[in-house]
Each structure stands twice: as C-alpha cells, then as structure tokens.
Amino acid sequence: LSTTDQTNDYLLFFSLYVIVVCISSCPSSDDNEAFICKDDITNSNIADGFTNTMAGDCMWHMASTNVVGRCYIDGSFDVILAAAADTATANGVTLTGVSAPSESGTAGSGFITDFLGDVYGFSGYIFGFGIGVATLVAFLYLFFLRIPGVLTIIIWTIILSIAVFLLAGAFMLFSLSSTWRDDGQHSTSEADTMLYISYFVMACAAIYLCLILVLGKRINMAVSIVKEAARALGAMPGLIFTPVIQVIGLVIFLVPWFIYVLFIASAGEMSVDPITGSRVFTYDTNSKYAFLYMLFCWFWTSEFLVACGQLMIALAISCWYFTRDKKETGQTTINWSAKTLFWYHLGTAAFGSLVIAIILTIRAIISYIQRKAKKSGNKILEYVMCILQCCMWCLEKIMRFLNKNAYIQTAIYGYSFCKACRNAFFLLLRNILRVAAVNMVADFVLLLGKVSQRASVIYLLPFLSYSSPTTVPHLICVCV
C-alpha cells in the first residue's frame, strides 16, 4: 500500500490533498476511528492515529468517490474536519494543522487533479451549456436567418467588404511600391517585388469582381434557398437529432469490432527489441491482412451511417419541399423518411459508402507504405506516395460531394445509386453557376453559425464567476 509499490495490482491514489497512498478502493463512509497510513506507519491507538495525521502520514476514512483513479470527498471537508476534531478531543488529542483541500496545496493538489475535479464537479453545467445552449443557439440562428432582409444584407455586406478589402489592399501595396522606389532606402528589386504583389492582388480583386458579376442574381437565389432550408429545418426540428441515432449505431458496431481487433492484436508474437530492450509485437502477413480487413469494416460502417443520415435528411427535406400544405409536415415527415430509408434506400447508402470506404482503405495503405518508405529512407518512393496520397484526397473530396448529391437525387426520384450518381453529375454540370453561388453563400452562413454556436460557451462564464469571485478578472479578459 504505497505510491512506489508496483507489485500491487491496485493503482488507486487516495488523495485527500493531504496524503497520497495507493489503496484498493476509496472508503465508502466517514470513520474517524480508522486510518489509512503511509508505509511503515502503525497506530497503536486512535490518539496515535490523529498524531500521525497531523504529521502528514495518516488520514482517517472519509466517504469519497473514485474519479479517474483518485478519491474525491463526497461531503464538505469542513464538516468532516469538525467531526474528526471532536473525536480527537475525546481521545485526548487537539487536532490542528489539518487544513481544507483548496488551501493546503500539499501533495496531490496538482494541476491535473484540479482540472479533473473541476470537470467532475461541473459536468452537469458543461453538458448543459456545451450541448443544450449550443443547440438552442442553432435554432435561434435558424430563426434569425428567416427574418426578411437580414440574410440578404449580411451576405451582400460580406461580399462587398471582401471586394473593398481586396481593392484597398491592392491600392495600398501599389502606393507602397512607388514610395519605396523614391525613398532611396529600398532597392529597385524590392520595389519591383512589391509592385508584382500589388498586381497579383489586383488580379485577384478583378477575378473576384468578375465572379460576383457573373453570379449576380444567383446570389439572391442562393439567399432564398438558404432561407427555405432554415424554414424546413425549423418545421422539422427533430432532424437535429439524427447524429444521436448515428452515434448509437456506431457504438453498437464498435463493441464487437473492438473485440475482434483485440483478438487479432493479441495474435502477434512478442519479441524484445535488442537495442532499446522494449517489448514489441510482430505480426505475420495474415494478421496484417486481418487488420486491413477490420479497418475496411470500420470505414464502410462509419461511412454507411453517415450516408444513412444524409439520405434521411434529404428524404425529409425533399418531402417537405414537395408538399403543398406545409402545415402537414413535421415529426410525421421525419418518421416517414426514416421508414422509407430503411425500406428502400439502405442499398443506395451501402453502395455510396462502399465507394468512399474503398478510397479510404487505399489511402490507409498508401500512408502505411509512406511510413515504411520514410523508415527505409527511400526518397523517390516517399514522393510518389505523397503525390498519390494527394490525388486520393482530392478524389475522396469529389466523391463525397458527388455522393451527397446522388443521395439527394435518390431521395427526390427514388433512383438507384449509379443512376443517381450520373444524374447528379449532369445536374451539377448544367447548373454549375447556381451551385457555385449556393456553395459560396452556404459557406458564409455555416461559418457564421459555427462561430456563434462556439461562442455560446461565453454564457457559461457568468455562472463560473459567480461561484468563485476571484475569476472575475479572467472573465473580463476573456470577454475583451
């Protein structure tokens, strides 16, 4: 029972901020007459125990809970201390020098302990604010987007301010280059470089302005589309909870998957590295292929769940769009889309996710070869693999985008995956400008939404500062 006793199976620290020893489990109840002591300390009676406690070698039992290998007191330390002091007086010892955990600062009150203790004690608030308030902000944001005119003003302000920023930047760089040319402190080449940079920014500004002119009215259309999407989500708020179902599905899959992986991992031969002396597992080719197969299973299943979520949302939203009387939509639409998904479109989701899973597996193999090449110092192989990896990354992004649109086609028309993929491709090609405009506006809107949701953490601050007045200066710092 000590901090250094490695032969003991228990690695639990009894840390009441006063002493640190290893014990098998945290005391479940307060007991002022039983003591936990460091090695080589024995108490002949209760008075002895209190004397050793004041010396910092013992601690009486306090009801506590095991949090990540540390015992945290359940009740108030002051109350327990008062009770212990009474017992000590009854045994002829005056208990002094045992202070409350937060003030003692002795062994055990390290940064990690404080950190975990805070998280444990505040977990309700953390979950409430992290999930609850963030979701609330999301819905408020949806509502805010639908206020007439607001989104149009925001989007055009962003677009025009970017244009002004680019033009002003180009002008400033240009004037800077002409001052540099004349002031005698900078060489001609420096002034030239600055001039070329200003030309480059000017070209960017010109391309950007051309893009805005070409997109023109389509941006207004994109704004109305975003508004309609906000309306649809507002009508079916249950859609927000699809990730919860996905996570549950993933956990159900992960349990057997993890067991299989552990079995394969334990099939390796253990050998001792002759240089470092550390133990390493070596695997034969069969186990390596088994690992690869498990990796593929993981990719396919996780992508399948993502695809199911996307299909479900596409089904619900398209059903909402093609309903004349929008009042009929709501939770029933979500139920209908879930049922349709499970009855008709699981194959589409499986096919689409298979494509992504194959790409991801190839990427995993490439990164494995990359690591091998780095170890063996084969530069050519390393570069080739790097280029291949980059290509596969691009392919993955494109396929994800195409898949998304194929699922939407499936949701609208009920096509099979291949046909939906082909149709989605030609649809995107036909309406490339609209898609560009919608993507641009959607990116702005989603970015604003993300920032506002993450900032919702700020609402936690008043609660925190209320509970500990010393943090008020920090609060001001964070707010500023």
Beta-ladder partners of 64 = 73
DSSP conformation letters of 60-127: EE--EEEETTEEEESS-HHHHHHHHHHHHHHTT----S---HHHH--TT--HHHHHHHHHHHTHHHHH
Using the contact rule CB under 8 A, the part of the chain among 239-247, 280-288, 368-376, 382-390 near another protein is 239-247
Considering only residues 451 to 480 of the shown chain, the ones binding another protein according to CB under 8 A are 453-454, 456-457, 460-468, 471, 474-475
- Shortest approach of another protein to residue 384 CB, angstroms? 34
Among the listed residues 290, 304, 300, the one whose alpha carbon sits nearest the alpha carbon of residue 262: 290
By C-beta, is 152 or 367 nearer to another protein? Answer: 152
CA distance linking residue 418 with residue 399, whole number of Å? 13
- On whether the CB atoms of residues 421 and 406 are closer than 8 A, the answer is yes
Residue 347 within binding range of another protein, rule CB under 8 A: no
Question: Which of residues 22, 226, 290, 356 is near another protein by CB under 8 A?
Answer: 226
Verify binding: residue 212, another protein, rule CB under 8 A: no
Q: Which of residues 287-326 bind another protein (CB under 8 A)?
A: 310, 313-314, 317-319, 321-324
Residue 13 C-beta: closest distance to another protein, Å? 17
In 3D, which of 148, 152, 144, 150 has the Cα closest to residue 219? 152
Q: How many residues bind another protein (CB under 8 A)?
A: 90
Is residue 434 a contact residue for another protein (CB under 8 A)? yes
**Residues in region 374-413 near another protein by CB under 8 A:** 404-405, 408-409, 411-413
- Spatial neighbors of 265 by CB under 8 A, at least 6 apart, are 281
Angle at 126 between CA 123 and CA 128, to 5 degrees: 105
Among 18, 93, 223, 421, binds another protein (CB under 8 A): 223
Q: What number of CA atoms fall less than 13 Å from residue 262's CA on the CB side?
A: 6
Q: Which stretch binds another protein (CB under 8 A): 48-56, 166-174, 215-223, 352-360?
A: 215-223
Asked if 420 interacts with another protein (CB under 8 A), we say no
- Among 57-65, 85-93, 352-360, 419-427, the segment contacting another protein (CB under 8 A): 419-427
Q: Least distance from C-beta 225 to another protein, angstroms?
A: 5
Core vs surface per residue 166-176: b (16+ CB within 10 A) or e? bbebbeebbeb
Using the rule CB under 8 A, which residue among 65, 262, 431, 476 binds another protein? 431
- By CB under 8 A, the residues from 102 to 131 that bind another protein are 102, 114-119, 121-122, 125-127, 129-131
CA count, 13 A, side-chain hemisphere, 356: 24
Q: What is the phi-psi region of residue 384: left when phi exceeds 0, alpha when psi lies from -120 to 50, beta otherwise?
A: alpha
Of 139-198, binders to another protein (CB under 8 A) are 142
Q: Which is nearer to another protein, 40 or 78 (CB)?
A: 78
**Counting contacts by CB under 8 A, is residue 363 touching another protein?**
no
